[in-house]
């Protein structure tokens, strides 16, 4: 799929993103990540700000898919809660569109480990924009 090209963008590569599936009715996307060792702090888990990177990515793709790849979000804010440490290795991300307005959209994202435990969650407020690099 054409999107694997975009998922292959340098920042996405860093996050180890792979598309899993998109549920059109719920406007919910599932992505698989691979947290690299370079994201790990001396505490042994992914640095908090970098956890936000995964959440940002999964929320953003929910909006892109919900708009048939026409739009992408420009974030105004992200709020996140870190429930459990995110370890290096596989991470599953779910992102969904809570409300899609003309001027503002509301997104939500969650990260799970492979056992299905919720590790982190985020909400975001964003402005919908035409997709940069659009039909590329």
Of 65, 60, 78, 58, residue with least CA distance to 122 = 78
Q: Interface with another protein includes 64 (CB under 8 A)?
A: no
Q: Which two tokens stand for residue 74?
A: 């420009």
Strand bridging mode 89-100 / 71-82: unpaired
| Closer Cβ to another protein, 20 or 74, answer by number | 74
Distance CA 109, CA 123 (A): 6
| Closer Cβ to another protein, 56 or 71, answer by number | 56
Distance CA 6, CA 22 (A): 16
Q: How far is the CB of 121 from another protein (least distance, A)?
A: 12
| Closer Cβ to another protein, 36 or 85, answer by number | 85
Q: Which of residues 79-118 bind another protein (CB under 8 A)?
A: 79-80, 82
Say if residues 97 and 73 touch (Cβ distance below 8 Å). no
| Closer Cβ to another protein, 4 or 129, answer by number | 129
Binding residues for another protein, rule: CB under 8 A, are: 41-44, 48-49, 52, 75-80, 82
């Amino acid at each position: 799929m054409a999107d694997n090209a975009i998922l292959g963008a340098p920042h996405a590569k860093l996050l180890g993103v792979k598309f899993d599936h998109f549920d059109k009715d719920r406007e919910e996307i599932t992505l698989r990540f691979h947290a690299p060792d370079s994201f790990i702090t001396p505490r042994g888990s992914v640095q908090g700000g970098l956890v936000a990177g995964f959440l940002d990515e999964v929320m953003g793709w929910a909006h892109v898919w919900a708009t048939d790849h026409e739009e992408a979000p420009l974030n105004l804010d992200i709020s996140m809660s870190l429930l459990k440490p995110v370890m290096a290795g596989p991470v599953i991300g779910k992102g969904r569109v809570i409300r899609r307005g003309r001027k503002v959209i509301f997104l939500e994202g969650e990260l799970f480990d492979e056992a299905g435990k919720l590790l982190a969650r985020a909400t975001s407020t964003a402005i919908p924009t035409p997709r940069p690099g659009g039909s590329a």
